[in-house]
Amino acid sequence: MEKHGEIILAIDIMFINKIPFVLKMSCNIHFGTAELVKDMKNNTLVTSIEQVIQAYQTPGFKIKAILADGQYICAANEHVPEIERYIRTIKERVRRIVTTLPFERYAPRLIVEMVYNCVFYLNSFTHKNGVHATISPRAIMTGQRNTYDKHCKLEFGTYVQTHEKHNNSMDPRTSGAMEL
């Protein structure tokens, strides 16, 4: 905390199929967040930033600076390389998931879950330029670590049968579902 307690936060807006997300990433811890936003109004965007600041302050970090481009802080046509690279990585990983799924069209909720899945796993493994060689950004921020039984059994998009409440009738006892 003494060495890495002050955070520089990079923020930008990413669109996938016209669905807007506010992406935020700390430049030293490399903990990223993606938040679906209902609109692009200033109040919505400010609320999103305030929520992530609170998330960093809860474990004791302090936001030293916020780097942003476009409608935020930087001059026109300037970009923040840290968040631009993060956006590119998320989009590449979403495309990888799309290639494994058998659909021609994707419901907006499925796209949102793909983005959240990518962010979750980017946070779950150490970053080569991160602050710790063996502790993931997720573990640093939340204290939670991944377990195989909970986080690694199924790949995103896997078809599963879920157990439903049932009685002795001939009604189905399982329902088809997709792992998100």
Q: Per residue in 12-40, pLDDT tens?
A: 999 999 999 999 999 888 889 999 998 88
Contacts of 15 (CB under 8 A, 6+ apart): 21
Run of H or E including 102: none
Options 3.90.550.10, 1.10.287.110, 3.30.420.10, 3.30.450.20; which CATH number does 6-145 get? 3.30.420.10
Contacts of 175 (CB under 8 A, 6+ apart): 161, 162, 164
| Assigned token pair, 14 | 């990413």
Residue-range domain boundaries for the chain: 6-145
Predicted TM-score of the model (pTM)? 0.80
**Alpha-helix runs per DSSP H in 17-80:** 42-57
Cβ pair 55, 49 in contact under 8 A: no
Q: Per residue in 115-126, pLDDT tens?
A: 999 999 898 887
